[in-house]
Chains A and B, each alone.
Chain A
Amino acid sequence: MVYKSIDEANQAVVSKIIAGSPFLLDVVPAIDVIDEFKHGKVLLHAGPPITYDKMIDPVQGACMGAAMFEGWADNEDDARKLMESGEVTLIPCHHVDAVGPMGGITSAHMPVVVVENRTDGNRAYCTMNEGIGAVLRFGANGPEVIDRLRWMRDVLGPVLSKALQTREPLNVNVLIAKAIAMGDEFHQRNIAASLAFLKEMSPSIVALDIDQKDKEDVIQFLADTDQFFLNIMMASAKSVMDGARQIQEGTIVTAMCRNGYEFGIRIAGMGDEWFTGPVNTPHGLYFSGFSEDDASPDMGDSAITETFGVGGFAMIAAPAVTRFIGTGGFFDALHISEDMTEITTASNPNFPIPTWDFRGISIGIDARKVVETGILPVINTGIANKKAGLGQIGAGTVNPPMEAFEKAVLAYAKKLGFEE
């Protein structure tokens, strides 16, 4: 053991989070960087481990969409039968250095962003954002969804890859720092970062010697997709948190994720072990005609953003979306961000928030403090229809179950010799 106390170990983990330096290197087919795809039919999913029968409808819908996209089936019925047969191996994204939004369903030939944390030399992957409306991550799997995924595979991925190769790797910290000053909190709101990304990439894209229509389509897609940066943020946060959790001591939360059934967390001192509890259903604002009754339970690996210190933890950075937390607006957001400082260990000075008097984002969720205070992390989230394919019906916030933190704290105490 290197550290004397848990506080010391936690401080070391937090120092690694601050030192993390994610760079966007490339966009490649998932199978090129994730070996598990080379062994039979494999799908990645969000959250802690789960079996197909426990998956909620939108996630099952996304599995079927991925099966059709991969050519394992050409209609929904066959895809369902395939999934139910157990022939497809399901692996959490987190187990293969990846993260996935909402259902998080990722298949071999979907393009993923490749982010390297140059401080610790590790890499992380995430699929690209599909835009809004009928999209696979909410469980839609109709022809337009599959067609878009194919276009992303055949055009968007390769074009971005080529463009990235003509320039220096993209320093993501710089984009985050810029965009947080422009009102993004990187979970609910990514429009500033997405525009900054487009600004960085468009000179390289337009200079490519490729089909003009492909260029136009790619630029148009990036211009239309406000949340495009979210997936880059997720991969970056994953790369930084995986670098930090190379330290296997202490009580800092290194991952939070959900699969629609269970919410899972990891803490540094317990390595790869998941501590889980049942997921909650988000509270928030619903599009017309929808209510909490229609809402899918919480899902997605996107809570890696909160683990990294943005999202709900940086709510105050994004006044434009604060009303999702209720009608109170700015001061409710302030209260939430202030509350989050009570369960975190430090501020990250690399990402000062102007609307918070330039205080840095709060980092290093201490599982001890969560259990001690009863203050749960606040996660900003989109809300999916509980029926597959009907897409997003609102947005809001959600809390993890306290049970997950209690289990983690108890397990770690016992590992260190605590006897009841």
Chain B
Amino acid sequence: MLHTVIEKNSYQDSIVLMLLTNYLETLDGVNNVQVMMGTPANKDIFKTGGLATDELEAATPNDMVVVLDVDNEDLIDDVVKKAKVYLDEQSNGSDDENSGEERVKTWDKALEVAKDAPVALISVPGVYAASEVEKALDAGKNVFCFSDNVTIEDEARLKQMAHEKGLLLMGPDCGTGIANGLPLAFANRVRKGSIGIVGASGTGIQEVTAIIHKMGEGVTNAIGTGGRDLKAQVQGITFKDSIALLDQDPDVKVIVAISKPPAKEVRDDAVDLLRAAKKPVVAIFLGEKPEAHEKGLYRAYTLEETAKIAVGLLHGQEPTGNEDVAVKVPDVKLQPQQKYIKGYYSGGTLAYEAATLMNNTLGLHAKNGVDGSILKKDGYEVLDLGDDVFTQGRPHPMIDATKRKEMMVSAGQDPETAAILLDIVLGYGTTDDMAGDLKDTIIKVKADAKAEGRELPVIATIVGTDMDPQDYSQQQRTLAEAGVIICENNAQAVKTALAIVGHPVEETPLPILPEKPSNVKMPAVSDKLKEMLTATRFLNIGLESFAEAINESGGSAVQFDWKPIAGGNVELQKALLFLNKVDLKVGV
């Protein structure tokens, strides 16, 4: 049944009325509807659409006409009311949050809009990464390369190229960084401060910056180098330039260097460079147990110790050996068969730290594991669930808890399991509520063990700060509700687990040897490199969430929605290259 409603002298733009019509069509009980101004041409359209009525003829071009086909007449008032609400909302304008964003799709445009950005973030598929890094370097940008799968030959070549241009190439496979207090890629929000960090490991940097933040100090710049920088082929090019950069920065009072042990060929150079720094340096070579400090170059065993020595030095205090607070052992009664610790990590360096502490303390003499199995000896097990082996076809464990839940359930059923270790990594790029995602499984695993007469401690640490986008204290509460033993940091968590199984870590204060002479000269630092320390503007090529993290944190990022040239069509790519270079006068 057709009904006509005429709003006299109520002019609305035709497009608004088309949108309104589309909206009204979605309402329940409305068979057909059309809203238009009552012009002669529009009346024809009503007729063509099967909505001709006698009342319609009386409408003038200044009247808004609603012709409505409903079975239930009671609906008419409701539809008219909804139409008015809709029109009011339309006139209030859209609250498009993207209105201020800068977005480009080509290099030409990117370099024009982001000409004042000293740093480019690159997160494009690995096969394209090397050429995009080269373009950014050619354009005079320091580069933070999140992309992986770049060959080590390309890495060495590009880093050498960057070095010669007075630029820095962070990565490839650089997962985290902080530039001028702004988070790069998967990073925690930490306050700015006087500790400068150079690191070859993602979660290592995150753990150290988070602990520094919790201790009331801060980090303005944390420079990632990528995991292969200190290998023989690359010669630590980025590592060295970064140390030099932080050493000349008047705002940096203490330098922290985090890395796996450097290759033999690079090691002396790298360590000598650290000795040459004017600022006190704390170095941690993950997996190595240091034997002594040197004056000005202090050595840490755990990430916790690294942060604490750095904060101490900032306060004018040399390491005392008491940086590792003695662990308070919770009251847990294990059954005799409960012997083994299982660590299920989302952060690679955290897993590595756990494996190192367990290996050394328990004297397992386990070799370095492969394929994400960082430690596997007897029943002891530490897994890096962020390893490629586990992430094929599924999201990273910092985003998706499924794999960890599986692992926890099977470990919980194993009567020999004595404790389960977990990390909850907060910050940009990770899920909103990992504790909540794990909670039910933790409760169930503990309850199931209890039903079989076993107490099963689950020990976790939260890598993050109260400035992170997630709610740190809520994560703590959620874990506490699940009965988790929450430790201040990863080293504490592992030590707690070891203490529970009766193997507490013994702390031996290191001697502080006199300063050793250095044969290395600090590399010169270009102005372009220095711009990185005070960068507020970035060019983000690839994953949009990285630009959002920067924008949310007070910086500004130009988003480059990168796509492979010509959709990846090789023939067209060649044709374009040809056309860009062809000399019309002589041919090529």
- Which residues of A pack against B, CB within 8 Å? 1-6, 8-9, 131-134, 249, 251, 285-290, 320-321, 323-324, 327-331, 335, 338-339, 341-342, 368-369, 371-375, 390-391, 394, 402, 406, 409-410, 412-413, 416-418, 420
Contacts and interface: CB of A to CB of B under 8 A. Distances in A.
Contact of A5 (B13, B15, B99, B583): B583
A199 to B, nearest CB: 21
A285 B19 contact: yes
A199 B230 CA distance: 76
Nearest to A289: B49
Nearest to A320: B13
Band of interface residues on B: 35 or more
A341 B572 CA distance: 22
A5 B22 CA distance: 51
B106 A342 contact: yes
Interface stretch (B75-83, B132-140, B249-257, B562-570): B562-570
Given A134-B44, A249-B584, A372-B566, 16 more contacts: A285-B18, A323-B16, A328-B96, A329-B93, A329-B94, A329-B96, A331-B96, A369-B106, A371-B566, A373-B565, A390-B48, A413-B575, A413-B579, A416-B582, A418-B579, A420-B571
Nearest to B570: A420
A8 B563 CA distance: 27
Contact of A285 (B15, B41, B572, B578): B15
B403 interface: no
Contact of B49 (A290, A324, A328): A290
A375 B49 contact: no
Interface of B: 13, 15-16, 18-19, 21-22, 25, 32-35, 41, 44-45, 48-51, 93-94, 96, 98-99, 103-106, 108-109, 563, 565-567, 569, 571-572, 574-576, 578-580, 582-585, 587-588
Nearest to B583: A4
Contact of B41 (A1, A133, A290, A409): A133
A341 B112 CA distance: 12
Given A287-B34, A331-B96, A6 B109 contact: no
12 contacts: A2-B584, A285-B22, A287-B21, A288-B32, A288-B35, A290-B49, A328-B94, A335-B103, A373-B563, A375-B105, A406-B569, A413-B578
A64 to B, nearest CB: 20
A9 B579 CA distance: 12
Nearest to B587: A417
Given A321-B15, A374-B563, A289 B32 contact: yes
Given A342-B108, A342-B109, A369-B106, A251 B579 contact: yes
Nearest to B99: A331
Q: Which of A335, A341, A372, A417 has the most CB of B within 10 A?
A: A372
A406 B587 CA distance: 21
Contacts of A289: 32, 34, 48-51
Instruction: List the 6 closest pairs (A to B, CB-CB), nearest first.
Output: A288-B34, A289-B49, A413-B575, A285-B18, A1-B584, A323-B15
Contacts of B103: 335, 338
Contacts of B567: 374, 402
B88 to A, nearest CB: 16
Contact of A287 (B45, B105, B587, B588): B45
A328 B98 CA distance: 10
A30 B547 CA distance: 57
Nearest to A8: B584
B563 A132 contact: no
A178 to B, nearest CB: 22
Q: Which of B575, B578, B587 has the most CB of A within 10 A?
A: B575
B575 A418 contact: yes
B353 to A, nearest CB: 44
Contacts of A5: 582-584
A331 B98 contact: yes
Contacts of A374: 563, 566-567
A348 B565 CA distance: 27
Contacts of B583: 4-5
Given A321-B15, A417-B588, A372 B105 contact: no
Nearest to A410: B575
B92 to A, nearest CB: 12
A133 B48 CA distance: 10
Given A6-B582, A288-B21, A409 B51 contact: no
A327 B22 CA distance: 11
Contacts of B94: 327-331
A410 B22 CA distance: 43
A373 B108 CA distance: 11
Q: Which of B16, B35, B585 has the most CB of A within 10 A?
A: B585
A134 B563 CA distance: 44
A406 B572 contact: yes
A9 B584 contact: yes
Contacts of A372: 106, 565-566, 576
A190 to B, nearest CB: 14
A324 B44 contact: no
Nearest to A321: B15
A374 B51 CA distance: 43
Contacts of A402: 567
Contacts of A6: 579-580, 582, 584
B584 A410 contact: no
Contacts of B50: 289
Given A328-B94, A335-B103, A342-B108, A1 B585 contact: yes
Q: Which of B13, B104, B566, B587 has the most CB of A within 10 A?
A: B566
A369 B50 CA distance: 46
A132 B41 contact: yes
